């Protein structure tokens, strides 16, 4: 089995494990799907050590709506299925998953370089997953495999989201949708505690909130050992 096939199989296994379906689905690779009447898929592109295009279709739209907690434009199928696509993308190595959105993915499913998997529930087809790896993972690993800089060199020009967090909490979708102006959301952090600085969701530093020319900013107080977390 080639490295690309290994990545494709690992990606679909990771995806299936996080799909919001009533029962776990099974994945089986099939030939490319040539059909102009495919329903819209949730698609995303991944740029990193091994770049790829991904798409997933779940036939039971009611299951997706139930997982979202409400029929609301604030919670789309792309939002509900993003965690599963993120899990699939993580097996590809260091990189960035782009925006997830509903789109026509017929060309991706029909591409001869795409691995297509049927997602089945007790033998019945419940959906489809497509992944097209666009780089050679073997070649990437041969280039300074023990160097973090070597792993990240391919994505030096990729923009990543830098986020500052003052705290977190967990809420049900129902409670989120019931928020109104004036509502108070309690966080898991005490007043005066340092804020977290995250790069594409990964914690890289701590800092304190300051005001610069009437704009909020963060003063870095501690840089974490990110290299150990990436290697």
Residues 16 and 31: their CA atoms lie apart, in Å, by 19
Q: Cβ(7)–Cβ(50) under 8 Å?
A: yes
Report the pLDDT averaged over residues 26-32. 91
pLDDT in tens, 47-74: 887 889 999 999 887 767 666 565 555 5
Measured over all CA atoms, what is the biggest interatomic distance in the chain, rounded to whole angstroms?
62
pLDDT surpassing 70 at residue 123: yes
pLDDT the model gives residue 118: 95
CA angle 53, 73, 45 (to 5 degrees): 10
Highest mean pLDDT among 16-30, 69-83, 202-216: 16-30
Q: In the numeric block, which tokens belong to residue 138?
A: 């073997």
Residues 222 and 231: their CA atoms lie apart, in Å, by 20
pLDDT the model gives residue 138: 44
Helix (H, G, I), strand (E, B) or coil at 114: coil
Q: In the numeric block, which tokens belong to residue 175?
A: 């409670």
Report the pLDDT averaged over residues 75-87. 87
pLDDT in tens, 135-164: 654 444 444 444 444 555 555 666 677 889
The mean of the pLDDT values for the chain is 82
Choose among 220, 198, 201: nearest CA to 209.
Answer: 220
pLDDT the model gives residue 87: 93
pLDDT surpassing 60 at residue 204: yes
Residues 117 and 5: their CA atoms lie apart, in Å, by 12
Which residues lie across from 125 on neighbouring strands? 120
pLDDT the model gives residue 34: 75
Model's pTM, two decimal places?
0.60
Residues 3 and 222: their CA atoms lie apart, in Å, by 38
Mind listing the domains of the chain with CATH numbers? 3-144+149-155 (3.40.1550.10), 161-230 (2.30.330.10)
Cβ atoms within 10 A of the Cβ of 176, count? 14
Residue 35 φ/ψ, nearest 5 degrees? -155, 130
- On the CB side of 9, how many CA atoms lie within 13 Å of its CA? 7
Could you give the residue ranges of the DSSP H alpha helices within 103-207?
A: 106-110, 137-142, 148-152, 173-177
H/E stretch holding 125: strand 124-133
Residue 120 φ/ψ, nearest 5 degrees? -120, 150
pLDDT in tens, 171-190: 888 888 889 999 999 888 88
Q: Which residues contact 89 (CB under 8 A, 6 or more apart)?
A: 11, 44, 46, 52, 54, 95, 97
Choose among 9, 88, 95, 1: nearest CA to 47.
Answer: 95
Which residue has better confidence, 116 or 36?
Answer: 116
């Amino acid at each position: 089995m080639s490295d690309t096939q290994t990545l494709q199989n690992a990606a679909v296994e990771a995806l299936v494990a996080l799909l919001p379906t009533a029962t776990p689905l099974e994945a089986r690779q099939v030939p490319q799907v040539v059909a102009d009447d495919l329903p819209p898929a949730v698609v995303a592109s991944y740029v990193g050590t091994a770049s790829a295009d991904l798409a997933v279709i779940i036939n039971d739209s009611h299951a997706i709506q139930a997982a979202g907690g409400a029929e609301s434009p604030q919670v789309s199928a792309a939002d509900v299925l993003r965690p599963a696509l993120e899990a699939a993308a993580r097996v590809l190595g260091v990189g960035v998953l782009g925006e997830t959105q509903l789109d026509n993915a017929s060309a991706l499913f029909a591409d001869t370089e795409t691995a297509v998997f049927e997602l089945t529930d007790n033998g019945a087809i419940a959906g489809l997953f497509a992944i097209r790896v666009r780089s050679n993972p073997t070649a990437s690993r041969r280039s300074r495999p023990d160097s973090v800089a070597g792993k990240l060199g391919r994505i030096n020009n990729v923009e990543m989201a830098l986020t500052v967090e003052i705290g977190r909490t967990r809420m049900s979708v129902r409670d989120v949708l019931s928020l109104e102006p004036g509502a108070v959301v309690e966080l898991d952090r005490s007043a005066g505690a340092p804020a977290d600085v995250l790069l594409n969701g990964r914690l890289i530093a701590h800092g304190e909130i300051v005001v610069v020319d009437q704009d909020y900013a963060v003063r870095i107080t501690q840089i974490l050992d990110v290299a150990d977390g990436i290697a």
